[in-house]
Amino acid sequence: MRNRACAENCEPYVALKNAYDNRAEAVKKIKDTGKKVVWTFSGNVPDEVIYAAGMIPIRAWGSPAPWEEADRYLELSFGPVWRALFDTALNGKYRDLMDGLVFSTNFTMLEKMYNYIRWIIEREPERNLPPIALIDYEVMERDYLFFDRNCKNTEEFAREMEAWSGTTITDEALRNAISLYNEYRQALRDFLALRKGEDSRITGSEALTVVGATLVMEKERCIPLLRALTQEAAKWPKVEGVRLFYTGSQQENTDLYRMIEECGGNVVGEDHDWGDRVADLDIKDTLKFPLDCITERYWYLMPNSEKSRVRLRAELVPEWIRACGAEAFLVYMYYNDEAYFWDYPTQKRKLDAEKIPSHLIAKQRIPLVNPQELRDELGQFIASVRREN
Residue ranges of domains in the chain, CATH in brackets: 5-172 (3.40.50.11890)
Q: Per DSSP, what are the bridge partners of residue 310?
A: none
Average pLDDT over residues 44-51: 97
What is the predicted pLDDT for the residue at 146? Answer: 84
Q: Predicted confidence band at 323 (pLDDT cuts at 50, 70, 90)?
A: very high
What is the predicted pLDDT for the residue at 364? Answer: 94
- Exposure on the CB side of residue 154, measured as CA atoms within 13 A: 27
Average pLDDT over residues 314-330: 95
- For 136, counting Cβ atoms within 10 Å of its Cβ (0-12 exposed, 13-18 middle, 19+ buried), the class is middle
What is the predicted pLDDT for the residue at 140? Answer: 67
DSSP-derived secondary structure letter, 57: E
Q: Is the pLDDT of residue 303 over 90?
A: no
Q: Are the C-beta atoms of residues 361 and 263 closer than 8 Å to each other?
A: no
What is the predicted pLDDT for the residue at 21? Answer: 98
- Residue type at position 200: S
- Mean pLDDT score of the chain, rounded to an integer? 94
- pLDDT > 90 fraction of the chain, expressed in percent and rounded: 86
What is the predicted pLDDT for the residue at 3? Answer: 83
What is the predicted pLDDT for the residue at 343? Answer: 87
Q: Is the pLDDT of residue 339 over 80?
A: no
What is the predicted pLDDT for the residue at 1? Answer: 59
Q: Per DSSP, what are the bridge partners of residue 189?
A: none
Q: Predicted confidence band at 205 (pLDDT cuts at 50, 70, 90)?
A: very high
What is the predicted pLDDT for the residue at 14? Answer: 98
Residues whose CB falls within 8 Å of the CB of residue 240, separated by 6 or more in sequence, listed in order: 266
SS3 of the chain: helix, strand, coil, percent, to 5: 55, 10, 35
Q: Are the C-beta atoms of residues 326 and 244 closer than 8 Å to each other?
A: yes
Q: Is the pLDDT of residue 241 over 90?
A: yes
What is the predicted pLDDT for the residue at 342? Answer: 82
pLDDT digits (tens, 9 = 90+) for 151-201: 999 999 999 999 999 999 999 999 999 999 999 999 999 999 999 999 999
Q: Is the pLDDT of residue 320 over 80?
A: yes
pLDDT digits (tens, 9 = 90+) for 361-375: 999 999 888 999 999
Alpha carbon of 328 to those of 357, 359, 388: distances in Å? 5, 8, 11
Tally Cβ neighbours within 10 Å of residue 51. Answer: 23
Q: Closest Cα to residue 58, out of 105, 91, 25?
A: 25
pLDDT digits (tens, 9 = 90+) for 110-149: 999 999 999 999 999 999 999 999 999 986 667 778 889 9
Q: Is the pLDDT of residue 382 over 80?
A: yes
